Chain A
């Protein structure tokens, strides 16, 4: 079975700071990481490969430095890595990104066999759109399974897959035909630690590096800025919450403090109070 995982290198959002004067992002020293959500997708892919055989290809579109993210994925145990990089891709929004990635997936299919499953993360922590996966699925006419929490069964011989996915208000079990694109839900597995062999291989392995032409993109109007219908007009810092927490105090030990806390909660959130009483009456 051939599985492709799309991963993205992102700045560690936890370490992003906004310049107090200019309101721009201060990237100085902000490390990049693999989008944390993509790790759940990668681990799931590795597990499927371990169980069913085959190979896992990781694919990223990004600047040349995104190679680091790919090497890391190889360290975890991926078999092959592809970097899609071209200055024409700069400024891509989700539509342009999913277009470029789907073209790269076409080349991957031609060179290494069509993937039965393409994984993406649920969303990225910088873009946060959760659109790139569905965008790829639509373009490649893969069946789309978003927010998948567990892969129940893959019957490659029958060309079917059964998954559980997070739906509104509950969990759906869906059965559909391969090939599929799956966006994996977070906290569904724990990334493994690669072996020494994997780590050594990752350090040396050639990363396949393709540009727009390499993946057959003839129409550059579909790429980067020009291929992006959305335009970011303004970036600004949210008005910081000036006040810190109001500290609850009370004389007379934990019981009194508990009462004061509850009073504080109900004063600020009357709806919670009403809901709680409703819940109590139901119970």
Chain B
């Protein structure tokens, strides 16, 4: 073992004075997510929150937009201004057509190094987490992932709060000594701000010096979810799931039928995978998918903790179980003590009726 200095009493981040090289880092940035011309709603949520942070710090809010279509980028910039941005950094290049870590990391780190923001926020989506991780490592700064709350503390630092240990605890994390302070924030936990129509700002365009030939990773193919028949549980707005309480593989059809009427995804508890009633990619829970739908309907699922941690993020949890003491009623919002085998078809029919009435009306 190397001859040793005793371990330090404090960590790197706690020193008070910000190092010289970071003194000029100012302003709050939101890296907008813009895949295939569409702005992800989390970007607007972040702009709303970023506005508040910037005001508290007395600095500007800037948005970063990157892509290959100038038209889409300008549309996004217009939106960014309406949602509170003062400035937009715009990078337009054909190599940004599809998201690639390599390319996006270079684009964003170049911008950061050039314009030096003090706070950089991204959505905790697949894209955001992929990008934030490599940008933070490249810049050798701190990153707090998957936050649920942001604030500025008395000393002007970013206080990022996030769940840990599967949601049983929350912790508040600071990056005191490095810049920018980076965080990714879960979609749909921050409020969607009201846009101010006509609000504008300045656009700063920045070149990306990268040719396709220099890029190692090639996108061979992209299949959008809507064109795919694979399960998309993690991204679904509504999920209907079944558990052992359904008693047979045939009864699981009732779950699928309800899901179909609702345009929802379907899934199940782990024992169903083990019994072969559903495929592994439809398992929900700690060792399956973590879902975060607006509506989750669980039929005949007891609500074991391993299942619970995978669904707790749902906005509304509805549980159907014959046992009034089932643990799922501890965390569901709505409970129905009933036999799922008879209630599911009734629900399917009732929903179908309402929707068809509406279709005729519409």
Chain A positions near chain B (C-beta within 8 angstroms): 11, 13-18, 25, 36, 86-88, 90-91, 93-95, 98, 125-131, 133-135, 137-139, 143-147, 162, 166-177, 186-190, 211-214, 217-218, 220-221, 224-238, 241, 244-248, 253-255, 257-259, 261-262, 264-265, 268-269, 271-272, 275-277, 279-281, 283
Contacts and interface: CB of A to CB of B under 8 A. Distances in A.
Contact of A230 (B174, B228, B335, B346): B174
Contact of A212 (B2, B263, B317): B2
B218 interface: yes
B294 to A, nearest CB: 5
A245 B319 contact: yes
Given A128-B166, A171-B228, A187-B281, 15 more contacts: A13-B165, A14-B305, A16-B168, A130-B146, A134-B101, A144-B130, A146-B130, A147-B126, A174-B218, A187-B289, A230-B13, A236-B170, A257-B343, A279-B262, A279-B355
B144 A168 contact: no
Given A227-B12, A248-B335, A265-B295, A236 B358 contact: no
B356 A280 contact: yes
Contact of A172 (B98, B288, B349, B356): B98
A128 B171 CA distance: 12
Nearest to B284: A187
Given A187-B283, A224-B7, A280 B359 contact: yes
A237 B255 CA distance: 35
| B contact patch SS | mixed
Given A13-B168, A245-B334, A173 B221 contact: yes
Interface residues of B, number: 119
Contacts of A279: 262-263, 355
A17 B124 CA distance: 26
Contacts of B362: 277, 280-281
B138 interface: yes
A224 B188 CA distance: 34
A173 B5 CA distance: 48
B99 interface: yes
Contact of A257 (B170, B330, B346): B346
Contacts of A91: 11
Nearest to A24: B169
B85 interface: no
A229 B13 contact: yes
Contact of A167 (B99, B141, B238, B351): B99
A281 B280 CA distance: 32
Interface in B126-146: 126-127, 129-130, 132-134, 136-138, 140-146
Nearest to B228: A171
| A contact patch SS | mixed
B95 interface: no
B99 A168 contact: yes
Contacts of B334: 245-246, 248, 261, 264-265, 268
Interface in B261-295: 262-263, 280-281, 283, 286-289, 294-295
A229 B176 CA distance: 7
Given A95-B137, A128-B146, A245-B334, A229 B165 contact: no
A135 to B, nearest CB: 4
Nearest to B134: A134
Contact of A262 (B163, B333, B350): B350
Nearest to A136: B137
Contacts of B99: 167-168, 172
B211 interface: no
A97 to B, nearest CB: 11
Nearest to A96: B12
A25 B358 contact: no
Interface of B: 1-2, 4-5, 7-8, 10-14, 33, 35-36, 38, 40, 98-102, 105, 125-127, 129-130, 132-134, 136-138, 140-146, 159, 162-178, 216-225, 227-228, 230, 235, 237-238, 262-263, 280-281, 283, 286-289, 294-295, 305-306, 309, 315-319, 324, 328-338, 342-343, 345-347, 349-351, 354-356, 358-359, 362
A126 B164 contact: yes
B165 to A, nearest CB: 5
A264 B280 CA distance: 31
A134 B130 CA distance: 7
A14 B286 CA distance: 8
15 contacts: A95-B142, A128-B163, A130-B129, A134-B134, A172-B219, A177-B216, A224-B11, A231-B176, A232-B172, A235-B164, A235-B170, A254-B343, A269-B315, A281-B359, A281-B362
A167 B99 CA distance: 8
A280 B283 contact: no
A25 B169 contact: yes
Contacts of B280: 187-190
A91 B12 CA distance: 11
B170 A237 contact: yes
Contact of A128 (B164, B235, B237): B164
Nearest to B224: A170
Contacts of B141: 95, 229
Given A14-B286, A254-B338, A280-B359, A225 B11 contact: yes
Contact of A138 (B137, B221, B262): B137
Contact of B224 (A14, A169, A226): A169
A169 B223 CA distance: 9
Contacts of B351: 262, 276
B173 A87 contact: no
Contact of B329 (A13, A230, A244, A281): A244
A189 B138 CA distance: 32
A246 B222 contact: no
B358 A277 contact: yes
Contacts of B126: 146-147, 166-168
B219 A272 contact: no
